[in-house]
């Protein structure tokens, strides 16, 4: 691991660590009361999937400073995945999304558990909210107990606070913009704060700060991380509407039903003629949409060349990110890994 970037091996290390960590947490919950089994189960389910990109960026932020592979750093990096799991549980709850990774989302699974009880729907949503809250708390716990020296952890705490603030701000901005007229500037700001920063930039900076990075390297890593994080989310939005649900694990009409402020929708709206805007308006926010509606929206967006513009935005941002790596004094392994991550994070065709 120390000499060559092996994504599969890295993922196995993170998967094993998270599974063990949450198994202990589940035991502690069940020691309080066996009735907490569905909650413990959702805590574990929430981290059962993913490519571990956020942990990888934290790891390579550390390695970019010249630090060696370290099991305690792996523990700190894994905490980024708990942040992501918390964000996903909350996001699915806010959006009322039924599927994630082809499995029922937390609030849907918990509703099944509570079937037949009074106000089961509301109770399930409340439980899911608490699962997400606890995952964020556990992220901080895992980070703080990673085994890294207290002085190292103290260097990264300001970025931890920034990560939490900006993640919440991004989610709030999305809620405030949902259902409004599509605006590319608003949509890009949501992308930046809701996803881009906590996916790439913040994990990178946390890893680098743990390793004692100077301001010059941190500035360079931010210049790499922010456009790459935006490209990541732009790809996600594109897959959300044009990807096949069997592969994406999510319902294809979620963004249209929710009238969410995606850049793809904003680009389509900006390019549309009045009659085409009227057509889009007729489907945005509707709960009774079918596969025929999905195909219709796809065809209209293709006609407006909106997917092509999103692809161009993705390519431009990836190129910008990689170009910033060239100006940084990085160990060869870190340069190679960060270049590879730029491609794998944004070319998610499967």
Domain residue limits, the chain: 7-344
Looking at residue 250, its pLDDT comes to: 65
Q: What is the pLDDT of residue 2?
A: 46
How far is 108 from 114, CA to CA, in rounded Å? 10
Banded model confidence at residue 258, pLDDT cuts 50, 70, 90: confident
- Give 168's contacts (C-beta < 8 A, 6+ positions apart): none
pLDDT at 1: 44
Q: What is the pLDDT of residues 129-168, one digit of tens each?
A: 999 999 999 999 999 999 999 999 999 999 999 999 999 9
| Percent helix, strand and coil across the chain, each to the nearest 5 | 75, 0, 25
By the 10 Å C-beta count (0-12 exposed, 13-18 middle, 19+ buried), 174 is classed as buried
Q: Which of 147, 140, 159, 177 minimizes the C-alpha distance to 260?
A: 177
- Residue whose entry in the numeric block shows the structure tokens 């941002």: 317
Of 5, 146, 144, 15, the closest CA to residue 63 belongs to 5
Vertex 241, ends 236 and 245: CA angle to 5°? Answer: 90
Predicted pLDDT of residue 98: 87
Mean pLDDT of 192-199: 96
290 CB burial (10 A radius; 0-12, 13-18, 19+): exposed
Of the listed ranges 135-149, 183-197, 245-259, 279-293, the least confidently predicted one is 245-259
pLDDT of 323-333, one tens digit each?
999 999 999 99
* pLDDT band at residue 249 under the 50/70/90 scheme: low
What's the pLDDT tens digit per position in 263-312?
Answer: 999 999 999 999 999 999 999 988 898 989 989 999 999 999 999 999 99
Which comes out higher in pLDDT, residue 206 or 1? 206
The torsion defined by the Cα of 256, 187, 106 and 294, in degrees rounded to 10, comes to: 20
Q: Residue 246: pLDDT above 80?
A: no
- Report pLDDT digits (tens) over 115-128: 888 899 999 999 99
Fold observed for domain 7-344: Farnesyl Diphosphate Synthase (1.10.600)
Return the pLDDT at 350.
Answer: 42
Tell me the CB-side half-sphere exposure of residue 228, using CA atoms within 13 A. Answer: 31
What is the number of alpha carbons within 13 Å of residue 92 lying toward its C-beta?
29
What per-residue confidence (pLDDT) applies to 275? 96
CA–CA separation, 135 and 331 (whole Å): 34
Return the closest-CA partner of residue 177 out of 286, 294, 284. 284
pLDDT (tens digit per residue) in 25-63:
999 999 999 999 999 999 999 999 999 999 999 999 999
Comparing 246 with 80, the larger pLDDT belongs to 80
């Amino acid at each position: 691991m120390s000499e060559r970037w092996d994504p599969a091996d890295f993922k196995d290390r993170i998967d094993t660590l998270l599974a063990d960590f949450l198994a202990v947490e589940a035991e502690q919950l069940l020691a309080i009361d066996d009735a907490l089994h569905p909650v413990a189960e959702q805590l574990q389910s929430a981290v059962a999937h993913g490519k571990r990109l956020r942990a990888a960026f934290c790891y390579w932020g550390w390695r970019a400073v010249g630090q060696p592979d370290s099991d305690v750093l792996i523990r700190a990096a894994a905490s980024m995945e708990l942040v992501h799991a918390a964000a996903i549980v909350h996001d699915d709850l806010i959006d009322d999304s039924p599927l994630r990774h082809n499995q029922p989302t937390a609030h849907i699974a918990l509703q099944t558990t509570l079937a037949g009880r009074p106000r089961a729907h509301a109770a399930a949503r409340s439980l899911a909210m608490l699962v997400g809250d606890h995952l964020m708390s556990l992220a901080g716990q895992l980070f703080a107990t990673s085994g890294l020296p207290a002085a190292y952890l103290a260097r990264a705490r300001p970025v931890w606070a920034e990560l939490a603030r900006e993640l919440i701000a991004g989610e709030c901005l999305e809620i405030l913009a949902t259902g409004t007229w599509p605006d590319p500037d608003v949509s890009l700001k949501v992308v930046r704060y809701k996803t881009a920063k906590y996916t790439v930039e913040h994990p990178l900076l946390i890893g680098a700060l743990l390793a004692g990075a100077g301001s010059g390297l941190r500035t360079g890593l931010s210049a790499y991380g922010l456009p790459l994080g935006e490209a990541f989310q732009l790809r996600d939005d594109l897959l959300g509407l044009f990807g096949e649900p069997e592969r994406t694990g999510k319902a294809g009409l979620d963004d249209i039903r929710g009238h969410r402020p995606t850049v793809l929708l904003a680009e389509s709206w900006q390019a549309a003629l009045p009659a085409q805007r009227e057509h889009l308006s007729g489907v945005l926010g509707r709960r009774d949409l079918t596969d025929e509606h999905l195909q219709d929206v796809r065809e209209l967006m293709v006609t407006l060349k909106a997917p092509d513009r999103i692809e161009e935005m993705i390519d431009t941002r990836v190129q910008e990110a990689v170009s910033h790596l060239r100006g940084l004094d990085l160990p060869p392994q870190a340069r190679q890994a960060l270049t590879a991550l730029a491609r794998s994070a944004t070319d998610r065709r499967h």
